[in-house]
Amino acid sequence: MGVVQIEQDFAVCKAKFPNLVCMPIAAQFMAEGVIALFSFEESADGVKVTGEKHYRLVNSGELSPDELMTYQQRQD
């Protein structure tokens, strides 16, 4: 995950979609099957990370009915 790639993403978004808000994201694979997703924004100081969330992919059979219901009701 490099800042140059994120800066290029901002530039492409501005060129192709000037009326939209660009929010580049990046994924990083971590230990134990965890995937980190990052979101970015541009500021006067350069590119900054605005969000970071960690996820683990699991088989649906590993989730309880209560966990599945919780995910269905989330608003994020």
Summarize pLDDT for 34-55 with one digit per residue, the tens. Answer: 999 999 999 999 999 999 999 9
CB atoms within 10 A of CB 49: 12
pLDDT, residue 76, reads 62
C-alpha gyration radius of the chain: 16
Sheet with 25-29, side-by-side order of all strands = 25-29, 34-43, 46-56
Supply the pTM of this predicted model. Answer: 0.75
List the domain range (segments joined by +) for residue 55: 3-73
How far is the C-alpha of 17 from the C-alpha of 33, rounded, in Å?
34
